[in-house]
Structure 1
Amino acid sequence: MNTKITNIIEDLKALTLLEAAELVKQIEETFDIDASIASQSQAIVMPATTDNSNKNEIEEKTEFDIILEEVPAAKKIAILKVVRSITGLGLKEAKALVESAPKIIKDNTTKENSEEIKKQLEEAGAKVSIK
Structure 2
Amino acid sequence: MQCQQVAMMFQKLVAEDGILEVTDISEKQETKGRPVGLNTVNLLKVASSALGFGPQMAMQLAERLYTQGFISYPRTESTAYPPSFDFRGALSAQRNNPTWGNYVEGLLTSGYQKPRLGTDAGDHPPITPMRSASEDML
TM-score (norm 1): 0.24
Point out the structure with max Rg over C-alpha.
1
Larger fraction in strand = 1
Instruction: For CA contacts below 8 A with separation 6 or more, give which structure has more relative contact order.
Output: 2
